[in-house]
């Protein structure tokens, strides 16, 4: 009985330290620390969270970072902010807070791993013709950074008042019925509205070292002047391309191909790059070692037989 109690306690502690938040096939295991207090400048804090793809298809993930002020956003760095993830798998993302100087205050930093849409969602919008939307599903993790008054005063002091800015006109919100079809939480929706749907034409797989045609365009034509492609390798390298290009995939693994308009990610798909096969193909290491060992043994036996034959002939002479 005591042993069962101990095991249950350990499991509960793990769950409390790493809660898993889920939304629309994407889930997030957050770190135990949700608030940090600076004791001095400069300041460094590093932690990790895990992103899960619980859906039944591969996904392109982008991590959006937001903070109340631009200087706070500049404190944040990510090991990787966009990547492909296979269905049913997860990946760890490391982030860091590096503050060289700052103002007194409490600042909430929000990390939102978001699964980009692969296809459009029909959204009949009042007053617009053939409006469509690309909806990305995400979950949030919030980290609060507290700069005490004495620490702030020793750096930049009190934050000056923020000048009033006229808010930009935002598109009308998605209706409750549309939200229900996509997700249960409104905060997990990133909505990109366009007047025309997009066609992203890419291969699903390619062999390492080969080139493939990539293209994105509006259905029905039109000149998408600000449309482009962003290709991301498994190791995190980013390549900005025009909306139609030939690209050489030089690294095996899952690649991301993302359509951007005015530098905003709209949708994304994955490309599986298969390892380049050599003369021996994709033989498993154990089998390859076995083949080499047998071949070496045959060669040695042959050489011994040849040597014995030569010695026998020499004795006859």
Question: Are the C-beta atoms of 220 and 195 separated by less than 8 Å?
Answer: no
If phi > 0 it is left, if psi is from -120 to 50 it is alpha, else beta; for residue 88 that is left
In which residue ranges of the chain is CATH 2.60.40.10 found?
A: 20-159+172-194
User: What is each CA distance from 37 to 78, 151, 257, 292, 310, in whole angstroms?
Assistant: 20, 10, 39, 60, 84
Question: How sure is the predictor about 123, in pLDDT bands with cuts at 50, 70 and 90?
Answer: low
Question: How sure is the predictor about 233, in pLDDT bands with cuts at 50, 70 and 90?
Answer: very high
Q: For residue 120, give the H/E element and its range.
A: none
**Cα–Cα distance between 77 and 107 in angstroms, integer?**
16
Of the candidates 150, 152, 156, 119, which has an alpha carbon nearest to the alpha carbon of residue 135? 119
Question: How sure is the predictor about 120, in pLDDT bands with cuts at 50, 70 and 90?
Answer: low
Kindly report which listed range (160-169, 182-191, 206-215, 282-291) carries the lowest average pLDDT score.
182-191
In percent, how much of the chain has pLDDT > 70? 72
Question: Are the C-beta atoms of 283 and 132 separated by less than 8 Å?
Answer: no
Question: How sure is the predictor about 46, in pLDDT bands with cuts at 50, 70 and 90?
Answer: very high
pLDDT of 148 above 90: yes
Of the candidates 52, 29, 84, 26, which has an alpha carbon nearest to the alpha carbon of residue 235? 84
**Helix, strand, or coil (residue 310):** helix
198-274: CATH topology = Immunoglobulin-like (2.60.40)
Question: How sure is the predictor about 13, in pLDDT bands with cuts at 50, 70 and 90?
Answer: very low
In which residue ranges of the chain is CATH 2.60.40.1930 found?
A: 198-274
Alpha-helical runs (H) found in 40-188: 70-73, 149-153, 176-182
20-159+172-194: CATH topology = Immunoglobulin-like (2.60.40)
Question: How sure is the predictor about 20, in pLDDT bands with cuts at 50, 70 and 90?
Answer: low
Residues in the chain, total: 317
pLDDT of 93 above 90: yes
Of the candidates 262, 232, 21, which has an alpha carbon nearest to the alpha carbon of residue 138? 21
Q: Which residue has the higher pLDDT, 119 or 201?
A: 201
pLDDT of 260 above 60: yes
pLDDT of 172 above 50: no
Model pLDDT, residue 82: 95
Alpha-helical runs (H) found in the chain: 2-17, 70-73, 149-153, 176-182, 285-316
pTM: 0.73
- When the pLDDT of each residue in the chain is averaged and rounded to a whole number, the result is 80
Model pLDDT, residue 305: 84
Question: Are the C-beta atoms of 118 and 267 separated by less than 8 Å?
Answer: yes
**Cα–Cα distance between 119 and 113 in angstroms, integer?**
18
């Amino acid at each position: 009985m005591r042993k069962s109690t101990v095991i249950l306690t350990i499991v509960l502690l793990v769950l409390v330290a790493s809660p898993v938040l889920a939304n629309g096939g994407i889930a997030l295991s957050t770190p135990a620390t949700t608030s940090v207090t600076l004791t001095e400048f400069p300041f460094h804090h590093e932690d990790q969270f895990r992103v899960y793809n619980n859906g039944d298809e591969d996904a392109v993930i982008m991590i959006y970072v937001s903070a109340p002020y631009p200087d706070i956003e500049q404190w944040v760095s990510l090991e990787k902010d966009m990547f492909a993830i296979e269905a049913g798998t997860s990946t760890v993302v490391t982030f860091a807070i590096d503050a060289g100087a700052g103002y007194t205050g409490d600042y909430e930093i929000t990390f939102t791993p978001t699964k980009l849409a692969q296809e459009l969602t029909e959204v009949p919008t009042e007053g617009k013709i053939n409006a469509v939307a690309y909806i990305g599903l995400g979950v949030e993790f919030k980290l609060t950074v507290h700069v005490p008054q004495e620490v702030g005063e020793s750096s930049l002091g009190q934050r000056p008042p923020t000048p009033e800015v006229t808010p930009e006109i935002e598109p009308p919100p998605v209706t409750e019925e549309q939200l229900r079809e996509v997700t249960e939480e409104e905060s997990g929706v990133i909505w990109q509205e366009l007047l025309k749907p997009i066609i992203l034409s890419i291969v699903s797989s390619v062999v390492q070292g080969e080139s493939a045609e990539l293209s994105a365009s509006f259905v029905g034509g039109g000149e998408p002047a600000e449309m482009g492609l962003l290709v991301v390798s498994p190791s995190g390298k980013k390549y900005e391309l025009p909306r139609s290009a030939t690209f050489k995939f030089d690294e095996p693994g899952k690649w991301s191909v993302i359509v951007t308009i005015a530098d905003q990610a709209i949708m994304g798909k994955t490309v599986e790059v298969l390892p380049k096969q050599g003369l021996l193909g994709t033989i498993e290491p154990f089998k390859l070692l076995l083949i080499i060992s047998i071949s070496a043994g045959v060669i040695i036996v042959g050489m011994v037989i040849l040597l014995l034959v030569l010695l026998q002939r020499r004795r006859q002479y």
